[in-house]
Chain A
């Protein structure tokens, strides 16, 4: 067992002329490198922003989404992103920080987006996720509900649903639930 490593060491020594100074240096992990790559390729446009509470920890950050059209226009929504060391084999964990009225986001902030669960593939990147999140605000999807009441509302009466979204976004009460005020200051 030892032999192969001594061979490898000699091979490296020959390549490096001399070994570097001792002390174990932490290596950049595959997940970190991938997240770094994904972040440098994000296209946030002017409706999204990121915030890194600790810039040295790029595996957790907050994404702000400010839709400029659709029923959720003029709102400001934030999502926590937590990325595990298994990324990209596992999707990032994403949660909405506000309590909002949305068919695909439940009252705890859990998000129902196919690529965050069953359809996640390692070839997908963070940009795909943020595009997906933005799309949820432009086109809430009643056929795949997490908040069943909101989905039912959207299906039954689109105009009524729109009004309820407006009420909820200003901190009002819809169907007995009080929501967070997510209007962004003008």
Chain B
């Protein structure tokens, strides 16, 4: 109640310092693009999508709401588990079992007046391009590489070079224990998540022979108990990671083995961690990374300072709190052979718009950029010619004698071309019709 009196309806005090940054040019603002008069309005009109309402997501939602974003959308398919409550601070014990997106949205709306948060309790894969097209900015706080790759491919494929609005900057945060990263991706402009996939080294699996013969670390002893001893002795019909009796059995086995090899450090909680593959989530790391992500979102939206990800500039910030605090920011370069952003449509000059499809098909064999002997060709909505399977070949064969124009192919049309001789690649071309003799 008291706070309502301190901050009246419009809560000017709450936004005072934010508005100082939004309305005033500073040493880092670019005078060409910064306009202090419109920043607040622009941010209010901006639709921003947050993916994930977990450890990072809670922080991100809170930060964005307090940064002046007013129209926030959040997707998370998960429900709240009791073990989330230590760090996912928008959730209370009574929320256990409810959807994270829903509860987080309501909580932040209650605490920050004037912000609208729209929750979606589902998977990101449930939505299509039209859904993602409505946002101006996407911020990810995910724990799954698979989901990151999916949204990355979606945003890269949405890019239409003719439409500036189809470029959606992606800000991605990630944490693992005391380490984390924040990066900004401008689809097709900077390196993408797929280009950067090797930055997520999977946790090295220990060779089975090491476990079986020469353990060196307490984890090796636990893995041995888990993978080898359990299967041999089968103390219980099926291993249940949540059953303390089962974990105790593994712990005792691992401890005995560790003593045999004079290895110290096997504890009950380490056993539990190794078996359940738990990387402890640390609230402080989440808040550091979420702050970095939201800082980038704010800079992109307001132009108050240069953001990560400008062409030729740094786009990746890594953070480590393992030994004191260390951060390093660098430019991760785009990969030319990236399966997502490296396979963009190349231009294909059509010498004569009166060509038949057969002439186009035959031309692929001699084009130096293609050299495809058995190309199959489709546009987004039409199967033009497929070499196989037989039934489809038969159905599309009549198209061969039609002209490109008759088939509805016009300048700027994108086509996909595949050839079984190139098992790993497919080509995308954008047709460019040469003007009839001008």
**Which A positions have Cβ atoms within 8 angstroms of B?**
1-9, 12, 16, 19-30, 32-34, 36-37, 39-42, 44, 49-52, 55-56, 58, 85-86, 89-90
Interface of B is mostly: loop
Assembly CA distance A7 to B428 (angstroms)? 24
Nearest Cβ in chain A — how far from B177, in angstroms? 27
CA separation between A2 and B432, bound complex, in Å?
A: 28
| Interface pair B419/A40, CB less than 8 Å apart | yes
The smallest beta-carbon distance between B41 and chain A, in angstroms, is 14
Q: Which 10 A-B pairs have the closest CB atoms?
A: A26-B380, A28-B416, A20-B412, A37-B418, A55-B395, A33-B416, A40-B376, A5-B164, A50-B389, A37-B426
Given contacts A22-B162, A34-B426, A36-B426, contact A44 B150 (CB under 8 A): no
Name the contact of B389 in the complex, choosing from A1, A8, A44 (C-beta under 8 A). Answer: A44
Residues of B within 8 A of A9 (CB): 164
17 other contacts beyond A28-B414, A50-B392, with CB at 8 A cut-off?
Answer: A1-B136, A2-B164, A3-B33, A8-B189, A8-B311, A19-B162, A20-B430, A24-B162, A25-B412, A27-B414, A28-B379, A28-B416, A30-B157, A36-B378, A40-B374, A42-B388, A55-B392
Report the minimal beta-carbon distance from B194 to chain A, rounded to whole angstroms. Answer: 11
Closest to A54 in B: B383
Given A26-B381, A32-B380, A40-B386, answer yes or no on A90-B419 (Cβ-Cβ < 8 Å): no
> In chain B, residues 298-318, which have Cβ atoms closer than 8 Å to a Cβ of chain A?
300-301, 303, 309-311
* Chain B hits for A28, CB < 8 A: 345, 378-380, 414-416, 428
Confirm or deny: B161 has a beta carbon within 8 angstroms of a beta carbon on chain A.
Answer: yes
Nearest-Cβ distance from residue B282 to partner chain A, whole angstroms: 30
Tell me, yes or no, whether B233 is within 8 Å of chain A by CB: no
A33 touches B418 (CB 8 A): yes
**Docked complex: B124-169 residues within 8 A CB-CB of A:** 125, 128, 136, 146, 149-150, 153, 157, 160-164, 167, 169
Residue of B nearest to A42 (CB): B389
Please give the distance in Å from A182's CB to the nearest CB on chain B: 20
- Asked whether B391 is an interface residue with its Cβ less than 8 Å from the other chain, the reply is yes
Q: Determine how close the nearest CB of chain A comes to the CB of B69; give it in whole angstroms.
A: 13
**Complex Cα–Cα for A52 and B395 (A):** 9
Contact A3 to B32, CB < 8 A, known contacts A33-B426, A40-B420, A85-B128: yes
Minimum CB–CB distance from B248 to chain A (whole Å) comes to 30
Bound CA span A56–B395, Å: 10
The answer to whether B380 touches A86, judged by C-beta atoms less than 8 angstroms apart, is no
Inside 8 A of A52's CB, which chain B residues have their CB?
A: 383, 391-392, 395
B68 smallest CB distance to A (angstroms) = 15
**A-B residue pairs in contact (CB < 8 Å), sample of 25:** A3-B30, A3-B32, A4-B311, A8-B186, A8-B189, A12-B161, A16-B347, A20-B411, A24-B163, A25-B410, A25-B412, A26-B380, A27-B428, A28-B378, A28-B380, A28-B428, A30-B157, A39-B388, A39-B389, A41-B423, A44-B389, A49-B391, A55-B396, A56-B383, A58-B392
Q: How far is the CB of B317 from chain A (nearest CB, A)?
A: 18
Cβ of B413 and Cβ of A25 under 8 Å apart?
A: yes
Tell me if B420 and A24 are in contact (CB < 8 A).
no
Which residues does chain A contribute within 8 Å of B301, judged by CB atoms? 1
B110 contacts partner chain A, Cβ-Cβ < 8 Å: no
Contact of A90 among B30, B125, B410 (CB under 8 A): B125
Contact B125 A56, beta carbon cutoff 8 Å: no
Q: Which residues of B contact A86 (CB under 8 A)?
A: 125, 150
Distance of A27 from chain B, by nearest CB (Å):
5
The answer to whether A58 and B383 have CB atoms under 8 Å apart is yes
Tell me whether B412 and A40 are in contact (CB under 8 A): no
A residues less than 8 Å from B311 (CB atoms): 4, 7-8
